[in-house]
Chains A and B, each alone.
Chain A
Amino acid sequence: MTTTNTELNSIAAQEYRYGFVTDIEADVAPKGLNEDTIRWISAKKNEPQFMLDWRLKAFRHWETLVEADSTPTWANVSYPPIDYQDIIYYSAPKAKEKLESLDEVDPELLRTYEKLGIPLDEQKRLAGVAVDAIFDSVSIATTFREELSKHGIIFCSFSEALQERPDLIRKHLGSVVPYSDNFYAALNAAVFSDGSFCYIPKGVRCPLELTTYFRINTAETGQFERTLIIAEEGSYVSYLEGCSAPMRDENQLHAAVVELIAHDNAEIKYSTIQNWYPGDRDGRGGIYNFVTKRGKCQGKNSKISWTQVETGSAITWKYPSVILQGDDSIGEFYSVALTKGRQQADTGTKMIHVGRNTRSRIISKGISGGRGNNTYRGLVRVMPKADNARNFTQCDSLLIGDQCGAHTTPYVEVRNNTAHLEHEAYTSRVDEDMLFYCNQRGLSTEDAQSLIINGFCKEVFRKLPFEFAVEATRLLDLNLEGTVG
């Protein structure tokens, strides 16, 4: 283990040495953040005036938050203060160093890929190795885009969308997560570099599971992504974000924003697997994943469903939420969050019931191992006009080892007496009787524990698209290695 660690450390150090220094070309913004940086980013991307204006408004708002020292402190996570002037806010996709072959990749990373069963070519892409002609992701992406455009679906990068459909962006941008929403949302609005845009026209059922995987550039848009998905009346889309393989990423702070809008009878299913670098055993390094995700069930009978499997990042601060505005709309949140090592996760959801007969369901499974700390934080709010609102919440925690922490802080706010809400939570460790039973049937303790934990997460995994569910199961097993016993 020591050898591997040393190797790993030296490679990590190497990556840093090359990371940004070699590429000071025109495509990297100067370090630091001021109005000029924002104008520079906007000009670089040839954005329409309204976009720049919005960014600047967001930036000015963010500055007031910085002055008032109002970085959010309520979450159950701790980290040293972030120096926002010590970050490069824009660097074009090319800026990342490409490795020549898989031989140069950290063997630990390769072992992980292998266990996850990721095809060789894809491994290269994930590890940042230059892909050869056969595995031309760009052309794959193009093929899919043609198929999608036949249905009138727009699926492209945010920058492209801004050039081609500024009207749609102008209408919807910030309508669910305004720039004034919170500290990181304001920062994102000011400096976001790129992201995904997706528009499903009226009555169209998207024939494919849309994934960022099909759009090669998304994976490299960096720290401040912004995603906007609009589902018109009667449409359906399933969107997958992230992938189960560890992301090679040097960035410390990720502050992304995702906005979903579902019109009458539309449905958006948004699935995430997040496995960013969690830092080393002692908690050095790792990603701060501070994300604002929110969907608005604007239309009648609309539905938004969030499913997330969070295993990576040093700190996760993320609350995918649904505003249930349309009558009879449905919001769902299914989550598995795993913390080990020194990982900290403060994650959950918000279900805001505004319309009549709105329903929401929250299933959260937290697993803590090592010295990890896992907090579920969720809000269910029933507004005065939300007659017959229903909510069911179940958030369970599993503890592995006596050094970790599992915390649950739900907020239930009811302002309508026709609402019916139920909340249940349970915390325990892996049941000894179950383990004993499995041992008795010939399963090793490690296999038994994995079986039990997978059973614990089943309700959530079932909600993932099929391939994703398989990956998620493998990912969990892999992450649990070493925490068990």
Chain B
Amino acid sequence: MTSIATAGVTPFAADLDSLERDGFSQDPQWIRALRKDAMSRFNSLGFPTARRGNEEWKYTDVRPIAQAPLRLARAGEAPEPTASDIAPFLLGDGSWPRLVFIDGFFNRGLSTPLGGQEDASVLSLAGALHSRSATARESLGRLAPYASHGFTALNTAFAHEGAFVHIPDGLTLEKPAHLIFLTASREGHTVSQPRVLVVAGAGSKAAVIETYGSLTGAPYLCNAVSEVAAGPGASVEYYRIQRHSEEAYHVGTTQAALGRDARLDSFTLDLGGALVRNNLNALIDAPDGSCALNGVYLATRSQRVDNQVTIDHAKERGTSRELYKGVLSGRAKAAFHGSIIVRKDAQKVDARQEDKNLLLSDRAEANVKPAFWIYADDVKCGHGAASGRIDEGSLFYLQSRGLGEEEARNLLVQGFVNEVIDKVKRPSVRSHVAELVKARLKEL
């Protein structure tokens, strides 16, 4: 079904071989085996470039990625970034645990990790593979399936650099963990593959923020995979703020698994990228799990943004809420594919999903596919989708109250996205998001 020129596969396979001999050689055996298996999966899968019968990638053609002369990023190929380079991406009062990655590599100087053996920890994954091998092994590569997903397989094949967030049972991560992934290489066509593992023990509480951004105007691929395991009664806030340059390709997969009574609150903001694809999957694998997955995407010029959100209600009495909104201008093209699965016997599930698009230009395009797959009868599932432009009546009303057209328009667009932004649970993140959105809307 999927294919890639052999030339595209071989360099990655050879890269892995040489890394295993060198940089990865000290890693525990289990992760080396995992990488090897994932590499062979990627060799047979390639990138999902097929256009026929490729339902999952129906609205996003990844041939630009598959055909680009991609190569793995090298450590230190960009000039060492300074504190002021990363300042625009920072959040919070400076006391938050923070991990900064440049071109996929952990930058110790810019980071403020957290961690004692008994306490909550926010660490570089490469280190945690040794110091927390048992915990990492339990979940890494177990949640995000790579057997049939090319991008996930490729990331797993190089799983080494990344972030490790662990909150033991009953503890609370006091300050949110901020993970910043920046690409700085000026040579272009680099691939960085961040890997994030969040393990929240029973009854624990945590907030994790992933920020993606560029310090370069060169094109590159950021292929990120995050795994979030929320134990029984755990509550996890998960934020993803994507601010790549408009030259970048970004494929981000997040796989969350929720235990009994667990709660996941997720918010995804997409501002940048030439071609962006987010896969967010929440598996509610025990009774009474609940989640709210929300998102905002703003795109202009020739940006492509594709959000694929799947909520899998595998057990009874789950609740899920989903609200995504997009504002599109220029020749931007957005896709939203939301799936809600209710498995057999997952009774009393209550799921609601909504996607709305505002089209500001006559060349913008929105493709929406909200889907249900329901195998239990005692459920309440609803979805809604709407697309349109700014309501002329409202615009007229505001103008009649003395607002200029531009001002009135901005107010209405802002109001449209505020419905989602207001749902961001943590005030510090909410105000950060609101500012970013406000600034970006001016450019649309």
Chain A contacts to B: CB under 8 angstroms? 70, 73-74, 384, 397, 399-429
Give 7 A-B contacts (CB < 8 Å), ordered by A residue. A402-B376, A405-B373, A412-B368, A412-B369, A417-B364, A419-B387, A421-B385
Given known A402-B344, A414-B359, A419-B387, contact A427–B374 (CB-CB < 8 A): yes
B381 touches A410 (CB 8 A): no
Return the contact of A408 from the options B357, B363, B372 (Cβ within 8 A): B372
A407 touches B374 (CB 8 A): yes
Return the contact of B386 from the options A423, A426, A427 (Cβ within 8 A): A423
B387 touches A414 (CB 8 A): yes
Return the contact of B367 from the options A73, A414, A428 (Cβ within 8 A): A414
Nearest-neighbour CB distance to chain A for B303, whole angstroms, equals: 16
Q: Which residues of A contact B376 (CB under 8 A)?
A: 399, 402
**Closest residue of chain A to B358, judged by CB?**
A417
Q: Does B53 contact A (CB under 8 A)?
A: yes
Q: Does B379 contact A (CB under 8 A)?
A: yes
Given known A74-B55, A420-B387, contact A413–B360 (CB-CB < 8 A): no
Return the contact of B382 from the options A414, A419, A426 (Cβ within 8 A): A426
A400 touches B371 (CB 8 A): no
Given known A399-B377, A410-B370, A412-B366, contact A417–B359 (CB-CB < 8 A): yes
What is the bound-complex CA distance between A403 and B375, given in angstroms? 7
Tell me the number of A-to-B contacts counted with CB atoms below 8 Å: 118
B389 touches A412 (CB 8 A): no
Q: Which residues of B contact A409 (CB under 8 A)?
A: 369, 371-372
Q: Does B383 contact A (CB under 8 A)?
A: yes
A425 touches B370 (CB 8 A): yes
**Closest residue of chain B to A401, judged by CB?**
B377
Nearest-neighbour CB distance to chain B for A334, whole angstroms, equals: 20
A421 touches B388 (CB 8 A): yes
What is the bound-complex CA distance between A93 and B373, given in angstroms? 42
Q: Which residues of A contact B384 (CB under 8 A)?
A: 422-425
A429 touches B379 (CB 8 A): yes
Nearest-neighbour CB distance to chain B for A256, whole angstroms, equals: 24
The contact string, 1 if C-beta is below 8 Å from chain A, for chain B 385-408, is 111110000000000000000000
A414 touches B372 (CB 8 A): no
B370 touches A384 (CB 8 A): no
Nearest-neighbour CB distance to chain B for A484, whole angstroms, equals: 12
B385 touches A410 (CB 8 A): yes
Return the contact of B377 from the options A400, A414, A425, A426 (Cβ within 8 A): A400
A421 touches B387 (CB 8 A): yes
B370 touches A418 (CB 8 A): no
Given known A414-B359, A421-B386, A428-B379, contact A407–B373 (CB-CB < 8 A): yes
Given known A402-B347, A407-B372, A407-B373, contact A418–B385 (CB-CB < 8 A): no
> Which of B367, B370, B387: most chain A Cβ within 10 A?
B387
B361 touches A417 (CB 8 A): yes
Nearest-neighbour CB distance to chain B for A80, whole angstroms, equals: 20
What is the bound-complex CA distance between A411 and B370, given in angstroms? 7
Q: Does B345 contact A (CB under 8 A)?
A: yes
B367 touches A410 (CB 8 A): no
What is the bound-complex CA distance between A426 and B379, given in angstroms? 10
What is the bound-complex CA distance between A408 and B374, given in angstroms? 9
B379 touches A427 (CB 8 A): yes
Q: Does B362 contact A (CB under 8 A)?
A: yes
What is the bound-complex CA distance between A403 and B388, given in angstroms? 39
B372 touches A417 (CB 8 A): no
| New A-B pairs, 6, CB < 8 Å, besides A70-B52, A413-B368, A423-B383 | A74-B53, A399-B376, A406-B374, A408-B370, A412-B387, A417-B388
B388 touches A429 (CB 8 A): no
What is the bound-complex CA distance between A425 and B339, given in angstroms? 13
> Which of B365, B371, B382: most chain A Cβ within 10 A?
B371
Q: Does B138 contact A (CB under 8 A)?
A: no
Q: Which residues of B contact A424 (CB under 8 A)?
A: 382-384
Nearest-neighbour CB distance to chain A for B368, whole angstroms, equals: 4
Q: Does B425 contact A (CB under 8 A)?
A: no
What is the bound-complex CA distance between A324 and B196, given in angstroms? 48
What is the bound-complex CA distance between A414 and B359, given in angstroms? 9
What is the bound-complex CA distance between A404 and B376, given in angstroms? 7
What is the bound-complex CA distance between A416 and B357, given in angstroms? 12
Q: Which residues of A contact B371 (CB under 8 A)?
A: 407-410
Q: Which residues of B contact A74 (CB under 8 A)?
A: 53, 55
List the 4 closest A-B pairs by CB distance, nearest first.
Answer: A417-B359, A399-B377, A423-B385, A412-B368
Q: Which residues of A contact B365 (CB under 8 A)?
A: 413-415
Q: Does B380 contact A (CB under 8 A)?
A: yes
Q: Does B378 contact A (CB under 8 A)?
A: yes
Per the 8 Å Cβ criterion, residues 229-245 of B in contact with A are: none
What is the bound-complex CA distance between A410 and B359, given in angstroms? 20
A417 touches B383 (CB 8 A): no
B387 touches A405 (CB 8 A): no
A429 touches B387 (CB 8 A): no
What is the bound-complex CA distance between A425 and B384, given in angstroms? 6
Q: Which residues of B contact A401 (CB under 8 A)?
A: 377
Nearest-neighbour CB distance to chain A for B376, whole angstroms, equals: 6
What is the bound-complex CA distance between A428 and B388, given in angstroms? 28
The contact string, 1 if C-beta is below 8 Å from chain A, for chain B 333-363, is 0000000000011010000000001011111
What is the bound-complex CA distance between A409 and B373, given in angstroms? 8
Nearest-neighbour CB distance to chain B for A317, whole angstroms, equals: 16
What is the bound-complex CA distance between A423 and B365, given in angstroms? 17
What is the bound-complex CA distance between A415 and B381, given in angstroms? 28
Nearest-neighbour CB distance to chain B for A442, whole angstroms, equals: 26
Return the contact of A420 from the options B52, B361, B379, B388 (Cβ within 8 A): B388
Q: Which residues of A contact B373 (CB under 8 A)?
A: 405, 407
Nearest-neighbour CB distance to chain A for B310, whole angstroms, equals: 13
What is the bound-complex CA distance between A170 and B344, given in angstroms? 51
Q: Which residues of A contact B357 (CB under 8 A)?
A: 414
What is the bound-complex CA distance between A73 and B54, given in angstroms? 11
Nearest-neighbour CB distance to chain A for B14, whole angstroms, equals: 34
Given known A421-B386, A421-B387, A423-B370, contact A405–B375 (CB-CB < 8 A): yes
Q: Which residues of B contact A404 (CB under 8 A)?
A: 375, 377
**Closest residue of chain B to A425, judged by CB?**
B383
B372 touches A425 (CB 8 A): yes
A426 touches B381 (CB 8 A): yes
What is the bound-complex CA distance between A358 and B363, given in angstroms? 19
A419 touches B388 (CB 8 A): yes
What is the bound-complex CA distance between A117 and B345, given in angstroms? 39
What is the bound-complex CA distance between A117 and B19, given in angstroms? 78
Q: Which residues of A contact B55 (CB under 8 A)?
A: 74
Q: Which residues of A contact B386 (CB under 8 A)?
A: 421-423
A405 touches B369 (CB 8 A): no
What is the bound-complex CA distance between A132 and B339, given in angstroms? 56
**Closest residue of chain B to A393, judged by CB?**
B385
> Which of A73, A397, A417, A421: most chain B Cβ within 10 A?
A417
Return the contact of B372 from the options A403, A412, A427 (Cβ within 8 A): A427
Q: Which residues of A contact B372 (CB under 8 A)?
A: 397, 406-409, 425, 427
Given known A402-B347, A409-B369, A424-B382, contact A418–B389 (CB-CB < 8 A): yes
Q: Which residues of B contact A403 (CB under 8 A)?
A: 344
> Which of A404, A414, A426: most chain B Cβ within 10 A?
A414
Given known A414-B387, A419-B387, A421-B386, contact A397–B374 (CB-CB < 8 A): yes
Q: Which residues of B contact A414 (CB under 8 A)?
A: 357, 359, 365-368, 387
Q: Which residues of B contact A399 (CB under 8 A)?
A: 374, 376-377, 379
**Closest residue of chain B to A381, judged by CB?**
B367
**Closest residue of chain A to B362, judged by CB?**
A417
A384 touches B362 (CB 8 A): yes
What is the bound-complex CA distance between A401 and B376, given in angstroms? 8
What is the bound-complex CA distance between A384 and B361, given in angstroms? 11
Nearest-neighbour CB distance to chain B for A377, whole angstroms, equals: 9
B383 touches A408 (CB 8 A): yes
What is the bound-complex CA distance between A426 and B382, given in angstroms? 4
Nearest-neighbour CB distance to chain A for B307, whole angstroms, equals: 14
Nearest-neighbour CB distance to chain B for A203, whole angstroms, equals: 37
Nearest-neighbour CB distance to chain B for A417, whole angstroms, equals: 3
Given known A402-B344, A412-B366, A417-B361, contact A429–B378 (CB-CB < 8 A): yes
